Amino acid sequence: MIPAEATALAEGVRASLATLKDVNGIAGSFVCTQSGRLVAREIPALFEDAVLAEAGSRLLRVGETFAAGGDELEVAVVRYGEHRIYLKSIAGGMLCIVVTGPVNMPALRMAANLVGRRIAAAVARAQAELPPAPAEPAPRASAGHPTATAPAPGHEAPPGMRRFRGRTVE
C-alpha cells in the first residue's frame, strides 16, 4: 500500500467514525489493527496518537487474553468512573468508542455494529498491508503514524477529564 492509499484508507475510516457522534454521549472513537497500529481516529486532540495506539494495543490484548481461554471477544463495555469505552472486535482490529456520561446503549450498539461493518474491510486491509506499530511508541508526536488522521482543531477535552498521562489538564 502506497502512502496515498494509506491516507485515503484512514480518511475513509475516519469519516465512518465521525457518524458515531450522532449518538449523544460519544466523545470519540478510534480504530487499531491487531498489530497495534492506529488506523484512524475521530476523537478530541487531547488524546495523542501514540497514546491511543498504546491504549488500543492493550485493549486488543484483553481480547487475546480471553481468546487464550477459548472466549472470542465480540464486544465489551469498560467502565472508568464517568467514562466508558465500548469495544467492538472487527476483522483485523478493534473499534474503540469513548463515552462520557449517559448514553443510549442500544443506539450505541447499533451505531457500532453499522460502523464496524462499514470499516471492517479497510481495517483488515490495513492489518494485512501496513507495517505494525513501533514497538516503543513515543509518548507524544503523531508524526510516526502516517495513517492516523489528525482531528479537527478546536476540539476540547470531554467533560470531567482532569488528567492525561499523569498531567493535569485544564
Partner 1 sequence: MSVYARGSNKGRPGNNAAAPPGASPGVVAPRGFSAQLRGASLWDLVQMECLARSHLSVQVVGEGGVGYLYFDRGHIVHATTPQLAGEAAALEILAWTNGSFQTCDRPWPEQVTIGTSHEGLILQAAQIQDESGASNLVAFPARGGPTAGDEGFEELELTEIEEEGAGDMRGTKMDELAPPPSAGTNGGRGDTGGDFAVVMRLGPSGAITTNRGGTEALAETVAYAQRLLQLAGELLGFEEFSAVECGFVAGRCIIFSEGEGEMVALRPRPEANLQALRERLGL
> Which residues make up the interface to partner 1 (CB under 8 A)?
46-47, 51-52, 54-56, 58-59, 61-62, 65-66, 68-69, 71-85, 98, 161-165, 169
Q: Which is nearer to partner 1, 5 or 169 (CB)?
A: 169
Residue 99 backbone dihedrals phi, psi, to 5 degrees: -120, 135
Measure the CA–CA gap between 37 and 128, rounded to whole angstroms: 11
Contact 65, 40 (CB under 8 A): no
Q: Which is nearer to partner 1, 66 or 117 (CB)?
A: 66
Q: Which position has the grid cell 443510549?
A: 104
Measure the CA–CA gap between 169 and 162, rounded to whole angstroms: 5
Q: Least distance in Å: CB of 51 to partner 1?
A: 5
Q: Record the cell numbers describing residue 21, joined without a space.
A: 457522534
Q: Which is nearer to partner 1, 39 or 112 (CB)?
A: 112
Q: Least distance in Å: CB of 148 to partner 1?
A: 16
Q: Record the cell numbers describing residue 65, joined without a space.
A: 487474553
Q: Least distance in Å: CB of 102 to partner 1?
A: 10
Q: Which is nearer to partner 1, 63 or 147 (CB)?
A: 63
- Residue 62 β-bridge partners: none
